[in-house]
Amino acid sequence: MSVERPIAIADGDAIDPGWEAFPVTLERRPRLLGRRAVDEDADLVVRAQAGEREAFEELVRRHAEHLYAVVVRLVADRHDAEEITQEAFIRAWRGIARFKGDARFFTWLYRIGINEARRRTARRPLGAVASLEDESVDPPDLRPAPDREAEHSDLRSALERAVRALDPDYRAPLILRDVEGLSTTEAAAIMGLREAAFKSRLHRARLAVRNAVEDYLDEDERA
Amino acid sequence: MMGPLRMIGFYRDHRWTRRHLSDYVDGELGPRGRARVEHHVHLCPDCWRLLATLKRTLAGLMGLRDEVPGDDIADSVIARLRAESET
């Protein structure tokens, strides 16, 4: 969204030779991940609710890549992630008339996507899943078996594997908050959790991942 | 060597710090909480190390953000939306 503002020059201020005062067009910088301010999504949502598919397609262009980036870390493969992302938008389009606007559009959309990913994962689990429900024990050791350590030669690969090894209910908070950079408030709203419950899951997920990749971290690096 | 009262205080701070480290790195503790964590990690090598490695882990996780190409996903979603509209 563009806003035109004059340079703040008081009457009588001298202007250096070769300079002139003129209106400056300021671009409102998008927030993290390219999501626009809520007022711009709201306008498209209203038009989509009136049946304007082109408005909804603009919402797709704005949010599809980021929703896909979240979903692909929750499911078994990219094909599933693509299907789930498509399905999330289809559901959102079909249900757009019922969207009340009491949450931001992307919050509602991401919740649809994550719920769909959960359904798929429940039918077809990823594999080894760490349960973090028992708070009386330390986070599980997710490190690979010694004979596979050669396959996990760097921190990035180790992180990817550690994230995938998390229980989905703990993986989603970590992905939303720490990979995608959403705020605690935004991420908790997407998960449908109170912030305290969200932060508890997030903390345990972080410790589990940290334990899994500890050998790859530079222990000499100061905090 | 710590006296018993100091030791009790140390372990209370130890447990509290470990529960609230995420809040600390997220900047979601108030001034007293921050001071409590910072005081304790200077005394506790385990918590100092946990904090350092947790920060490194979070930095690594943030770096995963750019690893997921999905350039064509919007096009595939729009294509499916249009196909559904035509059926």
Q: What is the pLDDT of residues B57-66, one digit of tens each?
A: 999 999 888 6
CB contact under 8 A, A60 and B65: no
Query: H helices of A18-132, where?
Result: 38-49, 53-71, 78-94, 105-123
Quote the CA–CA distance of A73 and A117 in Å, as a whole number: 10
For residue A146, pLDDT beyond 80: no
Q: Give the closest residue to A205 by CA, choosing from A113, A117, A73, A76.
A: A73
Global pTM?
0.74
Mutate to test the interface with B, among A178, A183, A184, A219 (most CBs of B within 10 A): A178
Question: Any idea what DSSP says for residue A3?
Answer: E
Residue B6: pLDDT band by 50, 70, 90 thresholds? confident
| Alpha-helical regions (H) of A95-183 | 105-123, 155-165, 168-174
Q: Is B83 on the interface with A (CB under 8 A)?
A: no
For residue A18, pLDDT beyond 80: no
Q: Check if B43 contacts A (Cβ < 8 Å).
A: no
Q: How far apart are CA A56 and CA B81, in angstroms?
A: 10
What pLDDT shows up at residue A59? 96
Query: In the numeric block, which tokens belong to residue A8?
Result: 């703040």
Is the Cα torsion angle A192, B24, A210, A181 positive or negative in sign? positive
Q: Are B53 and A158 in contact (CB under 8 A)?
A: no
